[in-house]
Amino acid sequence: MLNTQIKMIVGLGNPGKEYVNTRHNLGFMVIDNFISKCKIIESQKTKPGLVVKVSVSNTTTLIVKPSSFINDSGPNIRALIKNNHIQPEETIVVLDDLNLELGSLRLRASGSSGGHNGLKSIISSLQTMNFPRLRIGIGAPPIGNNQVDHVLGKIPETNREIVLS
C-alpha cells in the first residue's frame, strides 16, 4: 500500500492539560505510546512542535506532536516537512476518526479529509492530498449527543486499552 519509506510520523492532537486523554488527542496518545517503545536518539521542542528522533529497525524516523491546535495543524506540519527536507508522501499522519468503530484502523496512502478539520488544514497547507494517514476509530457520539463534545470528551480508561493496543 505504501511504496515510500516513512521518514516522519505525526500524531494529531490539541496542546494543553485539559485535552489529555480526549478522543481528539488520540494521535498524540498513539505517538506517546510509540515513543515509549523506541530507542530515542534526540528530542527537541521546536516552534512547530515536539520532534523526537528515534531508531526503528536501524532507520531514523522523526516522531512529531505539533504545537498547534489540531484544526490548525497544517502550517506547523508544512514547516516540519520543509525544515527536515521530507516529502509529504514520506510523512504519515495519525488521527482520530469518529466514522470508524472504536479501535478500528484505516490506513490510506492518500485521500480527502473525510470531514476531519485537522486533515483539511494539512491538505490546505501542503497543497496536496498525497500523504499517508492512519485513522483510528473513536466511534460516533451516541444519538442526541453533540459531536464536538464527543471528540473533546475523555476516552474512558477501559477504552484506552482498546485504541492503544
Interval 136-164: pLDDT, tens: 999 999 898 889 899 999 988 888 877 77
Q: Which residues are designated catalytic? A: 24
Q: Name the residue with cell 444519538.
A: 143
Give the pLDDT band (50/70/90) at residue 1. Answer: low
Compute CA distances 58 → 41, 42, 54, 55, 151, whole Å.
11, 15, 9, 6, 36
pTM, full prediction: 0.93
The CATH T-level fold of domain 8-164 is Rossmann fold (3.40.50)
Domain ranges of the chain: 8-164
Per-residue model confidence as pLDDT tens digits over 34-59: 999 888 999 999 999 999 999 888 88
- Asked whether the beta carbons of 17 and 100 are under 8 A apart, the reply is no
Higher pLDDT, 107 or 1: 107
In the prediction, which pLDDT does 58 show?
83
- Mean predicted lDDT score pLDDT of the chain: 92
The C-alpha atoms of residue 13 and residue 70 are separated, in whole angstroms, by 5
Could you give the percent of the chain with pLDDT greater than 90?
77
In the prediction, which pLDDT does 106 show?
96
Task: Return the C-alpha cell found at 124.
Answer: 490546505
